[in-house]
Structure 1
Amino acid sequence: MGNHFRFGPADLLRCRFGISPRWETQEAVRVLLRPHRQAYHLPWLRRIRAAAAGLDLRPLWLLMPRKGHHPDLLSPPPLGPSVTFEEELARVRAAADDPGAAYEDLRRSLACTPGALESPLGRRMLADPARAVTELADLTEAAWQALVAPHWPRLRALLEADILFHSRRLAAGGLEALFDGLHPDLRWHGATGTLSVERPSHHDRELGGQGLLLMPSAFVWPEVAGGYDPPWQPTLVYPARGIGALWTASPGPAPRALAGLLGRARAEVLCALAEPASTTALAARLGLAPSTVSAHLSALRAAGLLIPSRHGRQVLYERTPLAIALTTGGSP
């Protein structure tokens, strides 16, 4: 039993990472529906309580069965490593151009929840699938604006740091090391080139040269998700590292000695880089203007305390061994 991704020689060269703001929006909506996913997100739930109360999320919830098919039209895999929510939503809206395919996708999902097909809402969706797609896209956009967009710099920083970490594992130990660290439910069988996901159901997918898209998610914990039927690219979504500290307050004051050496503002920027982050993410975390943070990062980089690395449209900064020693009291 379980889901099995079967790799061919070409697939081993075409595994990539991606970040999807639309996926995070979908999973944020699912967190509101599934209490077992809420343990790490209680501060966020308190912050978005009023905004969530103003949304009628029942149409999206009806298409989130506990087991079974989630409509692919609502969650197409991102085409690149740094797509915007607007770009992803445009692809969702485009599904209205094929009402027949939309009808089958929605029907298949509704059939996984007892009574959903016969419910007034379910019947309304199937009676006019093109209109249903448009309304679901509008609701997804409203959920993005209310639940995720205000917190996206913090979320994106977490996801980017996760990708950087696992990219290094991949470089150091190959696919076996990568998959071993993503989730306990994953098993890599190198002899057969198969990645298995423990599931009570059974599903096989030959990757067929498309490779596998790997997406970290803040809201999918404690589960791992994925699949997609052809023609969609096979995708695996796993919990990002560090979600336990995602909603904690900004780092406390920098150590007095370090602040005396660098100046308090630059010391606090350096201490905030426990995980690699972008200028925008640091500015949101520290409550500073991006231009101010950028100036501090430039000075710290010139002093040999930071290393920049480009990931799509983002530049992430991480501490050098010397900087780690200064901020932790160790030796480089």
Structure 2
Amino acid sequence: MPLHMRFGTDDLLRCRFALSPLCETHEAVRTLRRTERHGYHQAWLRRSREAAAGLDLRPLWLFMPQPGYTPDFLGRPPATPSPTFAEELALMRGTDPALARQEMATSLAGTPGAAESALGRELMADPAAAVQRLTDLTERAWHALLAPDWPRLRTLLEADIAYRSRQLATGGLRALFADLHPDLVWAEGTLTLLNRRGDFFQEQRLAGQGVLLLPSVFAWPNAVSGFAEPWQPTVIYPARGIGGLWQTPQAPSGALVRLLGRHRSAILCALGEPASTTALADRHGLAPSSVSAHLSVLRDAGLLTSRRHGHQVLYERTALGIALAG
């Protein structure tokens, strides 16, 4: 059923973006369970199956009904724009057992037989132990499934936020929501999420909290609503550029290699989406200092521009760089 998020004056001033490695870990775990519509993530799935086989993910999957409610304590809204995984995990580990029990019961109630299952009864019998068990499992899933690729994922997510921020600055919320996801509709001060998973509530008054917008790689292809009171209402949406995330960068032509050199031409061709020095170094197997030197040359030649986003500098191609790479 659709979800209608009603904006007041204060809500318009309190919309913000953030990244969440913890939420992304849980979305990756959810992706492993899907039997269809893996789409863009087939390459990641092939690489991750072996690592996932060493994890017993059933306790997490139990609280990820499709459709249905996932406990908010598994990944509360980030308080800062770009928290570390360790910071978010510490908050999850410190969850009040009474709150955890309430949210786990709500989640299990949406799946027939889940609360009566052996695993459901075991986790509900000791909520404090359940919190620690789920936190430990989330930490293992992070290291096995996401941490090796996080520099690449973070760069893509930060590039999405930079793009969306420019949309917001030039066209306001109407321009932002018009392009965010086909299931998101903005009209008359209300953001409506169509084709939503689950039907546990149909209207949400933001009460001055605004909306947190959380780009995600593994939420694809859905836009997802998250978090009930007391947390800030959140929309998790697929980030731009997922289609090329797991692809091998386009090989530069022989003419471009002769003109720019092997590494500079490869870096230029890899910048289909903005990227940081660290992400490019990881992608090409080069030292960050070498990549930084190549980026400086390409920028000085008018082929790239750079801009700061948070703690990183992102590079993207100019019109001349796009033409040359093509």
TM-score scaled by structure 1? 0.93
- Pair 1:204-2:200 in alignment: no
TM superposition shift of 1:256: 3.1
Structure 2 gaps, min length 5? none
Contact 1:250 1:286 in 2 (8 A): no
Could you tell me which residue of structure 1 aligns to residue 269 of structure 2? 271
- Pair 1:40-2:40 in alignment: yes
Aligned-residue CA RMSD in angstroms? 1.5
Q: What letter is aligned with 1:313?
A: H
TM superposition shift of 1:301: 2.3
Contact 2:108 2:114 in 1 (8 A): yes
Distance 2:291 2:79 in 1: 31
- 2:9 alignment partner, SS class: coil
Distance 2:97 2:145 in 1: 29
The number of residue pairs the alignment matches comes to 323
Could you tell me which residue of structure 2 aligns to residue 219 of structure 1? 218
| Aligned with residue 174 of structure 1, among 147, 159, 172 | 172
Distance 2:130 2:75 in 1: 15
TM superposition shift of 1:290: 1.7
- Pair 1:62-2:62 in alignment: yes
TM superposition shift of 1:226: 1.7
Any runs of at least 4 consecutive aligned residues in structure 1 with deviations exceeding 4 A, and if so which? none
Deviates more, 1:42-51 or 1:305-314: 305-314
- Pair 1:127-2:129 in alignment: no
Distance 1:46 1:258 in 2: 33
Deviates more, 1:64-73 or 1:139-148: 64-73
Distance 1:277 1:80 in 2: 21
Could you tell me which residue of structure 2 aligns to residue 240 of structure 1? 239
Distance 2:16 2:309 in 1: 12
- Pair 1:143-2:180 in alignment: no
Q: What letter is aligned with 2:241?
A: G
Q: What letter is aligned with 1:276?
A: P
Distance 1:315 1:88 in 2: 24
Distance 2:225 2:51 in 1: 29
Identity rate, percent: 62
- Pair 1:188-2:186 in alignment: yes
Could you tell me which residue of structure 2 aligns to residue 250 of structure 1? 249
Contact 1:31 1:37 in 2 (8 A): no
- Pair 1:93-2:89 in alignment: no
TM superposition shift of 1:37: 3.8
TM superposition shift of 1:148: 0.7
Q: What letter is aligned with 1:92?
A: M
Contact 1:102 1:129 in 2 (8 A): yes
TM superposition shift of 1:245: 1.7
Aligned 1:5-24 pairs, distance under 5 A? 5-24=5-24
- 2:308 alignment partner, SS class: strand
Distance 1:311 1:15 in 2: 18
